[in-house]
Amino acid sequence: MSFKDYITHVKKSVVFIGKRFQNPLTNETINVFNGTGVLLRIQGINHIITAKHVITDTPANDITKEMGVFYNKKNGNIGFVPLQKINESIGFNWIFHANSEVDLAIAPYTVFAEQDVLVIPEEQLLTIENLFETKDVYFISYQPGLENPNKIIPIIRKGAIGLIKDDKSFYIDGFAFPGNSGSPVIVTPSPISFDGRGISIGGDKHGGKMIGIISSYLPYNETAVSMQTGRVMMVTQENTGLSEVWSINLLKEICEYDEFKTQIDAIKKKFPQKKVNNQ
């Protein structure tokens, strides 16, 4: 598989998460994208992974809108499946990390026959022990301002690992914006590799591996203080260009929970494997 073909494959694993509702005045269907998700096969079952806040931060006035997954259909149109429908067809629950600060969510996902999507195999995951600062990466996501009412068009953005943290998260030097949350972060293939012998040409084993999920950008607060009173007059927030990523290690920790294993066992018992995974 060429790298071009691989990029096409990975882009098809990306879906958008949001809401669909009818305009009461025009009866027009309106799609609202909130974030990004990625389809990943774990223990033989297709799953959708995103940032936890994408599915939990729902304002009260949005309760009439139906949360779900947007995808491309094989006929060239955009499709939408409510999460409730997926819940009813499989019987899933979103599972989160025990540490509430970890912004990850995972749930089983049915790939219906009409969906023009692909799923990243578990073998394409890479844990944080294999990473180092300055390593080039890219992420694939929904980008506000590039909406197409008839098709899912994810964008690819580049960055580099800027800081690896002790809590198994890391920052990339790459701009992320609202809507990018839930995007898969992937190692950029390199013509050189580093090992115990130093630098060598070729032998890159990490290129194309998925290493984490984007949570949010790191903000910087600028405070304006009155010279007369010394009081804070205004606080503005700027994007530092650093984006927080939760590593595959933390996703693997979720997959070790009894709740996750019980759900996997229930799905395998309830459905033949070939019906759960349509590809």
Q: What is the pLDDT of residues 32-88, one digit of tens each?
A: 888 999 999 999 999 999 999 998 865 544 444 678 999 999 998 899 988 877 766
In whole angstroms, what separates CA 56 from the centre of its chain? Answer: 14
* 234-to-100, 216, 238 alpha-carbon distances in Å: 31, 23, 13
Q: What's this model's pTM, rounded to 2 decimal places?
A: 0.85
* 273-to-27, 83, 94, 259 alpha-carbon distances in Å: 40, 21, 20, 20
- Across the chain, what does the average pLDDT equal? 84
Question: Which CATH code fits 3-276?
Answer: 2.40.10.120
- Whether the predicted pLDDT of 14 surpasses 70: yes
CB-side neighbour CA atoms (13 Å) of 114: 11
User: For the chain, how long is the longest CA-to-CA vector?
Assistant: 73
Highest mean pLDDT (candidates 64-68, 89-93, 185-189): 185-189
Residue 270 vs residue 114, higher pLDDT: 114
- Model pLDDT, residue 182: 95
Q: Which of 189-193, 226-230, 263-267 has the lowest mean pLDDT?
A: 226-230
- Model pLDDT, residue 279: 44
Residue 202 vs residue 115, higher pLDDT: 115
Is 180 in contact with 139 (CB distance < 8 Å)? yes
- Model pLDDT, residue 110: 85
Q: What would you report as the CA-atom Rg of the chain, rounded to the nearest whole angstrom? A: 20
Cβ burial of 24 (10 Å; 0-12, 13-18, 19+) is exposed
Number of H helices, E strands in the chain: 6, 15
Spatial neighbors of 136 by CB under 8 A, at least 6 apart, are 158, 159, 160, 187, 188, 190
Q: What is the pLDDT of residues 215-262, one digit of tens each?
A: 988 877 676 666 666 676 666 667 788 999 999 999 999 999 999 999
- Model pLDDT, residue 194: 64
Q: Which of 100-104, 192-196, 235-239 has the lowest mean pLDDT?
A: 192-196
- Model pLDDT, residue 64: 47
Q: What is the pLDDT of residues 255-264, one digit of tens each?
A: 999 999 998 8
Three-state DSSP at 180 gives: coil
